[in-house]
Structure 1
Amino acid sequence: METISEILKSVDSQVVSFEEYLDNYAGKVGDLVNSYIPRGTHPDMNKYLYDPLLTYSQNGGKRHRPLICFTACLAVGGNVDLAMSAAAAMEHFHTAALIHDDIADEATLRRGEPCLHLTQGTGLAINMGDLALALVNGTVMNDSTLDDATKIRVVTELINMTRRTVEGQALDIGWARDERYDITPEDYLVMAIHKTAHYSGAVPLAIGAIIGGGTECEIQALRDYGLDTGLAFQIQDDLLNLIGAEESANKDFRSDITEGKRTFMVVHALQNLQDDQRARLIEVLSAKERDPKVLAEAVELMEDSGSIEYARNFAENLTSAAKERLKETISPSQARDMLESMADWFVRRLM
């Protein structure tokens, strides 16, 4: 199989935007990630575990987490081939998070396909998510190209990332379960930073910089950049669930309303709607509603409160400020340009 440096060798001459970067390399990076999924010692282990997990991972989306890990490594002048196992580990974590998240949310679609717990059964799906989690640290520890000190530091990052993500997920699920409608935008930001920003931005960038031999200042700058842009990524994800094109959403459209999620737009709307409108939005969020007309009514309430525009502007301002800070620490390069383009894609992507 090609090394990542071989895969990325044309990035500086042919790929300009982050979207092009993903379009050109997601497939090959996906193959790389999947090469770290082992085989069982019994045929039925493959039937009930490894094969379905591999099939699920092959429908892996944009692969932005491993790709930004590689970009951060390049941005500090590192050897990108050394980041291969860590990048795969983060994508395995993403796989586990999606499998378990879909079970918790009783979701039906993931990237346009039936969720794993529907095709394989809940028990086997949970087990596959557990396996993907087990692959995270093991993939790094089994990498003979990394020295022991780097392995320990990378695994420590992954352990802390896992805890923070689980903490954020606990808030997200717990608020919905307990029908909490006193959540503030500030509460939401704590949840989203923990649930998404660390593993979708901060940790992939920090690990790439660590493996690349970056200075502590560079590592921290890239981590901070990932936190800000990762938060913007989650806000945009919430927006797309509400106002994206249904036919291109590749998962349950407006399912966040059905699940009663306390998204940025919801918590802002609940603070700004008139009493009767607020009561109606709470009624819809509490009803596990699936009627498209009622879901559209909830979106209209959020639009009337200015919450959708507020969220969009918040994400845009967050990434604009983050890009300016990045320039103060990371030297100019093709890789830095790509990271700046990443921020724009995070808040302007359509699906």
Structure 2
Amino acid sequence: MRFRLGEFSAGHPMVNSPQPLRTRLTDLLGCDYPIIQAGMGGPGRSELCAAVTAAGAFGCIGMVKERPELIQREVAAVRDRTNRSFGVNLVPSVTDPVLLDEELEACSAAKIEVMVFFWDVRADIVDRAHKAGCKVLYQVGSLADAIAASRAGADAIICQGFEAGGHVHGKVTAMVLLPQVAAAVSIPVIGAGGFGSGASLVAALALGAEGIHCGTAFLATKESYAHDYYKQRVIDATSSDTVYSDVFAIGWPPQSPVRTIENSITKLYADNLLGHGPDDFPRDVIAQYEDDLVCRLSTWSPLRGMTGDMEALALYAGQVCGQVKRVQPAADVVHQMMEEAHSALTRLGSLK
């Protein structure tokens, strides 16, 4: 891994922004900073994606199991706000095959430049994305899956540690897994799980990564599509307030663990947090989002405009939530990370 300071990319609209930091990842994605905003399957909509992208990092819209019409609208909304490249996040293995085909067609028709995939490695999906002219980032949670994704032709690997928020596909911490993955593959590797600051970006670079992938750090931003209640819970949470369980099971395959902020549901199942599947629970409606009825113990998180019992829904967050202290613009989060990263690099450079 090599990184270097550089000039701003053409079309960068920000003034008084931190100096760019170049790695193979920024070269691959065409951004100024090696920071990727996670799609997060809901909170990562067009407003957040565009704000992160315009700030010089790389934004994504989370379109997991969403209709192609929404994908088209969200893509158009991002392009109304910025002319820079961004990504679309899908999860092929948990999406109905017919809907997945429609999602991929919508992304192809929109000429999306980067696709971000997660969960089980699907070589056929990587190949299809490449044929549509897309670069592919594959998020994995194990060394074996990282090697499989590399062999499948992925352009970069997002290496997710156990401390990450949302669905967690591995059992090893990022600090342990990341250098193993970086040593095993030749393509760029991105750290995920526990990364939400400039210092952690520098740590990831030291471990062989080319950048970091952040979800929780952007959850409580002004542009996040998360519900205000959800944002406040993230701000109030400490790193020890997150729970690893698979009780939020309706909507994903059996025994698909997630990391969430503790709530009444995780307290109720405190002695039985793992080993569940979607067929283990009744469909009790507790909230509504537009025309969708939201069930207790489903994978829904509280989104902007949702009504009902927000407290009992899945409040996805990684252990890095303890660093999130207030709601602020996404651009400020990006620039604060980069200012801290440059300060850390300067400090390390002064060591004898």
- TM bucket by the smaller chain? 0.3 to 0.5
Between structure 1 and structure 2, the one with the greater Rg is 1
Higher relative contact order by CA 8 Å / sep ≥ 6: 1 or 2? 1
More helix by share: 1
TM-score by length of 1: 0.33
